[in-house]
Amino acid sequence: MRRFLPVFAITYAQKLSLLASVPLILAVAAIALLVAAQSRALAEREIAALEKQLIEAKKAELRNYVTQARNGFYFIYGSAAPDDQDAKDQVKQILSAMIYGDDGFFFVYDYDGTNLVSPRQTERINRNFKGETDSEGTAVVDNLIEIARQGDGYLTHLWAKPSTGTQAQMITYVTSFPSWRWAVGTGVFIDDVLANVATARAEVEERIRQTFVYILAITLMAIVGVFLTGMVINLRERRLADAKLKVLTQRVFDAQEEERGRVARELHDGISQILVGVRFALDSARRRLSNGRPDAGESLEQGIDNLGTAISEVRRISRDLRPGVLDDLGLGPALKSLIEDFEVRTGIDTEFDTVVFRNRLDQNAKIAFYRIAQEALTNIERHSNASHVKLDLRGHTRGATLRISDNGHGIDPNTRTQSSGIGLRNMQERVEQLDGSLRILSSRAAGKGTIIEATVPLTHLLPPSTDEPMTTRAHA
């Protein structure tokens, strides 16, 4: 299984693209669900309104049918007595003949529940159906008679269609012939209305499904766009990173070559010449001893002095490359030794001030501060023409700060922006590596000089060791 894991590994840029796609997918999903819910709600309202409109039209149609039928035989019913059987038979005959469409007919029930007219279902005639219910439990005949007793009205129920024999939903309008105690009415099947409503709902669902397909397609295109954009940005950033890496690599090589050149010059101009002097003094002493001259000791003394100078020079070069006091005693003593050597070498008056740290700097911060101080003192020696230098190191609530100030003639503003200012650039990069800050304040006015202030955050200060007593030692 582990052999196949690298196949599914994703790059950092792909992770960013996925992370950018997740909110997009969630937003689109929420929008799609909201659109679907709103569409369904709106469609349901429209379908309900349509259904109501169609049913109301059916009811009006039924009412017209009954009204027309009643007007057709009202001259008989209006003048007949309650027990006029001939008039009743004439009205039954008229109603039995009034059929329409495939399933339309008129019916008559007396108030006792006996069917008197049923032209499409003649087997029901003269039979009592009081208490009859449909498949949903609706007492059809009883409800029709009750509605007729109250005047007129509508009843929705299930009834067998005469044309097919299958049950379907029906709306019935019934009115009363009170003097004959008749419930007269007709009905219309609304399965066509229900079919239209079902068709409308199916169309709504199809539209919603198509909307989801469109949203999904748009989402996929957007995600592909995000990935393509991420890939383009990633390629561009990678090219920029490669270019910066090449520049940085070249600068590292340049710095290495510069340091090697400096060490080579010091070895050649210093130690090499001193050792040549030692050899000359020893060779001179050898010749004098061979000749038995009494002044051979002077040449030996000179050779010993030159050899001591060579040893001191080697120590100085070694200290510049990597000061042992920084590792052994800490940053404070290392800076103090550095500035004392600077004062002895240059004759410039120096001042060093520090406080006891309750927290100590980590190794990276120590090296950075030491190299910044070393670079600053080198610049002061070469360019500032200063007569006084002050170096201050202290910790505070935000971290630690190293401050180097002089009273020289300051830094040319143009020099600070040119690529040739590699020393200042090295200081800046060392501080940025530690998430710190570097400030350079300089004035060209006489005696104002330059202030270099490097600060590292509190994360580079370590807690004090519990087994060490608090003393006034200077190292940080």
In angstroms, how far is CA 16 from the centroid of its own chain? 9
* Percent of the chain surpassing pLDDT 70: 84
7 or 454, which is more confident: 454
Q: Please check the confidence at residue 403 and state whether its pLDDT lies above 80.
A: yes
| The pLDDT value given to residue 468 | 42
Average pLDDT of span 410-431: 67
Complete domains list, the chain, with CATH: 104-189 (3.30.450.20), 323-462 (3.30.565.10)
Considering Cα of 146, then 152, then 154, then 159, what sign does the dihedral take?
positive
In the structure encoding, which two tokens stand for residue 40, read together? 């369904």
What DSSP line would sit under 283-331, residue for residue?
HHHHHHHHHT-TTHHHHHHHHHHHHHHHHHHHHHHHHHHS-HHHHHT-H
Considering Cα of 297, then 303, then 308, then 311, what sign does the dihedral take?
negative
Average pLDDT of span 288-301: 73
Beta strand pairing status for 437-442 and 450-457? antiparallel
| The pLDDT value given to residue 96 | 87
In the structure encoding, which two tokens stand for residue 129, read together? 């159906």
Q: Per DSSP, which regions of 205-315 are E strands?
A: none
From 24, 466, 475, select the one nearest 230 (Cα to Cα): 24
Between CA 460 and CA 282 the distance in angstroms is 53
DSSP annotation of 383: I
Q: Per DSSP, which regions of 47-133 are E strands?
A: 106-110, 115-117
* 224-269 pLDDT, tens digit each: 877 777 778 878 888 888 888 888 777 777 767 776 776 777 676 6
